[in-house]
């Protein structure tokens, strides 16, 4: 163990290249000794950064404005429980998820804060939601009448009414329908009309025309209610970061909690620096020298132009590192190296300028020795949005959590470390 620590410090802190056979024969890097996973690929989620992103947003908001931390999709791939508890510690008031199972999963892990399900739930699940103190999104009297049948006398279901002000996804589209819901809820003891909300389709675009139109529509809908419910919310990250006017009394903070800009367009005008919390790392598991004409991977599409050092990485498309990432660079030993040949299901190959030891750390997303590959870089390469990137990294890639600048624990669903 002493050797491990000395070698680790030499390798990591002083960047001294040492023979790494020890790693292979005797085990993993010291901080992974906890045996929560045995593969050489992992995600690191920096909870300190998530804490700071939430705290900065909270500081910007007027004190009466509450914050939902949006932790759907396993907290955009970062880990639902860890992000939820970090966000709540940093000042978030409520949580929001996409569907009931995500909310129940958080309850199962001990989260007691109010949770709102943003998507559509089946009316026959009303009793389950009420029992777990989970609020559901509703937008029709018909749904409410159905749901009522599934609530026992002593049960009370909190609902937030969704207004479709222009997103065209779900929600009430007319004042008449909204007033019907309002009247119906006013007479029902088994339902609490806890909130009303809408969602902006273009808050992350510099052109504000459509955003203003949606805001006007939402305000007009609100004006048809005799009394507003306790919570009125509309802003996602983009709107909350950019505008003070449509905050109402709560915001729903998603992508920027994870340190990512809602769009490249508004990145230069964000009010504070976001801290990107997600890194993806692996290690070189095999190294070989190819000669002129040797080929690499399926289809034999890559051919060596001479003597070349080719390393194998244990990550592939089943990990979410999809085939379109061929050509993308990674960071290894202080240099960038391209992925060459087709990406396989569990492995891919990179071309190095010089040989490096087996076990050398490789950064696919993150920072090392002054070099960086951001989530945005991967999104650009894939011609998509940054939201998709952490979401697409599969659950078979363990999540290692960093808290107070050190590894706190690991989540690995494959070994039931969840
Ligand atoms: C209804 C709703 N509210 C809030 C959010 C959070 O948005 P963002 O991640 O852009 O902050 C989302 C995300 O998709 C959403 O669907």
Q: What mean pLDDT is predicted for residues 72-84?
A: 98
Q: What is the pLDDT of residues 65-74, one digit of tens each?
A: 999 999 999 9
Q: What is the pLDDT of residues 238-282, one digit of tens each?
A: 999 999 887 899 999 999 999 999 999 999 999 999 999 999 999
Q: What is the dihedral of CA 343, 349, 353, 354, to 10 degrees?
A: 170
pLDDT at 392 over 80: yes
Query: Rounded to an integer, what distance in angstroms lies between the CA atom of residue 105 and that of residue 84?
Result: 12
DSSP state of 398: P
Residue 245 has a pLDDT of: 82
Any ligand 1 atom below 6 A from CB of 261: no
Ramachandran category for residue 334: left, alpha or beta (phi over 0 → left; psi -120 to 50 → alpha): left
Average pLDDT for the chain: 92
Cβ atoms of residues 129 and 121 within 8 Å: yes
Residues in the chain: 418
Report how far Cα 95 is from the mean position of its chain's Cα atoms: 14
Residue with tokens 């292979």: 24
pLDDT at 171 over 60: yes
Residue 369 has a pLDDT of: 93
Ligand 1 atom closest to the CA of 237, numbered from 1: 11
Q: Taken in order 312, 313, 319, 323, is the CA torsion positive or negative?
A: negative
Query: Rounded to an integer, what distance in angstroms lies between the CA atom of residue 56 and that of residue 35?
Result: 35
Q: Taken in order 98, 99, 102, 104, is the CA torsion positive or negative?
A: positive
Would you call 72 a catalytic residue per the annotation?
yes
The answer, as to whether pTM is greater than 0.95, is no
Q: What mean pLDDT is predicted for residues 321-349?
A: 98
Query: Rounded to an integer, what distance in angstroms lies between the CA atom of residue 322 and that of residue 355?
Result: 26
Residue with tokens 């905050």: 247
Q: What mean pLDDT is predicted for residues 226-236?
A: 97
Provide, rounded to the nearest whole percent, the portion of the chain with pLDDT above 70.
Answer: 92
Q: What mean pLDDT is predicted for residues 124-143?
A: 98
Catalytic pick among 89, 149, 272, 298: 298
Residue 29 has a pLDDT of: 46
Q: How far is CA 116 from CA 34, 84, 161, 231, 243, in A?
A: 35, 13, 11, 12, 23
Q: What is the pLDDT of residues 273-330, one digit of tens each?
A: 999 999 999 999 999 999 999 999 999 999 999 999 999 999 999 999 999 999 999 9
Ligand 1 atom closest to the CA of 256, numbered from 1: 11
Q: From the CA of 330, how far away is ligand 1's center (Å)?
A: 30
Q: What mean pLDDT is predicted for residues 222-234?
A: 97
Q: How far is CA 230 from CA 193, 233, 241, in A?
A: 8, 10, 23
pLDDT band at 89 (very low <50, low <70, confident <90, very high): very high
Residue with tokens 């929001």: 96
Query: Rounded to an integer, what distance in angstroms lies between the CA atom of residue 306 and that of residue 42?
Result: 33
Residue 237 has a pLDDT of: 98
Any ligand 1 atom below 6 A from CB of 118: yes
Q: What mean pLDDT is predicted for residues 357-365?
A: 98
Q: From the CA of 189, how far away is ligand 1's center (Å)?
A: 30
Query: Rounded to an integer, what distance in angstroms lies between the CA atom of residue 113 and that of residue 110?
Result: 9
Q: What is the phi/psi pair of residue 350, to 5°?
A: -125, 155
pLDDT at 205 over 60: yes
Q: What is the pLDDT of residues 34-55, one digit of tens each?
A: 579 999 999 999 999 999 999 9
Query: Rounded to an integer, what distance in angstroms lies between the CA atom of residue 69 and that of residue 356?
Result: 42
Query: Rounded to an integer, what distance in angstroms lies between the CA atom of residue 273 and that of residue 49?
Result: 11
pLDDT band at 28 (very low <50, low <70, confident <90, very high): very low
Cβ atoms of residues 114 and 95 within 8 Å: yes
Q: What mean pLDDT is predicted for residues 207-219?
A: 97
Tokens matching residue 210:
């459509």
pLDDT band at 95 (very low <50, low <70, confident <90, very high): very high
Residue 17 has a pLDDT of: 37
Any ligand 1 atom below 6 A from CB of 237: yes
Would you call 14 a catalytic residue per the annotation?
no
Least reliable range by pLDDT among 18-27, 350-359, 399-408: 18-27
Residue 34 has a pLDDT of: 56
DSSP state of 292: T
H-helix or E-strand containing 345? none
User: 246 or 222: whose pLDDT is higher?
Assistant: 222
Q: What is the phi/psi pair of residue 292, to 5°?
A: -45, 125
Ligand 1 atom closest to the CA of 253, numbered from 1: 11
How far the first Cα of the chain sits from its last, in Å, is: 28
Residue 257 has a pLDDT of: 98
pLDDT at 27 over 50: no
């Amino acid at each position: 163990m002493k050797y491990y620590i000395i070698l680790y410090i030499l390798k990591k802190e002083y960047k001294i290249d040492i023979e790494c056979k020890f790693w292979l024969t005797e085990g993993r890097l010291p901080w992974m000794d906890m045996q929560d996973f045995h593969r050489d690929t992992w995600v690191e989620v920096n909870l300190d950064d998530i804490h700071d992103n939430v705290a900065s947003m909270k500081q910007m908001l007027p004190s009466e404005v509450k914050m939902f931390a949006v932790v759907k999709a396993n907290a955009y791939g970062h880990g639902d429980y860890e992000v939820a508890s970090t966000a709540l510690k940093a000042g978030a008031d409520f949580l929001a998820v996409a569907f009931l199972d995500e909310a129940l999963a958080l309850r199962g892990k001990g989260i007691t804060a109010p949770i709102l399900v943003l998507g559509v739930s089946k009316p026959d699940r009303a009793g389950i939601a009420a029992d777990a103190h989970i609020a559901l999104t509703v937008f029709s009297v018909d749904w409410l009448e159905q749901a009522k049948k599934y609530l026992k006398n002593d049960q009370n279901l909190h609902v937030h009414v969704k207004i479709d002000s222009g997103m065209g996804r779900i929600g009430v589209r007319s004042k008449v329908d909204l007033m019907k819901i309002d009247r119906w809820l006013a007479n029902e003891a088994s339902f609490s009309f806890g909130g009303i909300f809408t969602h902006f389709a273009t808050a992350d675009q510099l052109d504000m025309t459509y955003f203003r139109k949606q805001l006007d529509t939402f305000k007009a809908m609100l004006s048809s209610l005799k009394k507003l419910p306790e919570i009125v919310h509309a802003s996602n990250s983009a709107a909350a970061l950019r505008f003070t006017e449509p905050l109402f009394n709560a915001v729903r903070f998603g992508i920027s909690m994870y340190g990512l800009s809602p769009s490249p367009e508004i990145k230069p005008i964000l009010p504070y620096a976001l801290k990107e919390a997600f890194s993806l790392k692996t290690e070189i598991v095999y190294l070989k020298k190819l000669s002129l004409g040797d080929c690499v991977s399926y289809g034999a599409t890559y051919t060596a132009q001479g003597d070349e050092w080719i390393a194998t990485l244990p990550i592939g498309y089943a990990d979410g590192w999809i085939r379109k990432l061929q050509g993308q660079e990674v960071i290894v030993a202080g240099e960038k190296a391209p992925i060459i040949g087709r990406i396989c299901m569990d492995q891919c190959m990179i071309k190095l300028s010089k040989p490096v030891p087996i076990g050398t750390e490789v950064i696919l997303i993150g920072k090392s020795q002054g070099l960086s590959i951001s989530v945005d870089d991967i999104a650009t390469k894939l011609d998509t949005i940054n939201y998709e990137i952490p979401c697409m990294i599969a659950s078979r890639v363990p999540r290692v959590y960093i808290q107070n600048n050190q590894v706190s624990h690991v989540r690995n669903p494959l070994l039931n470390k969840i």
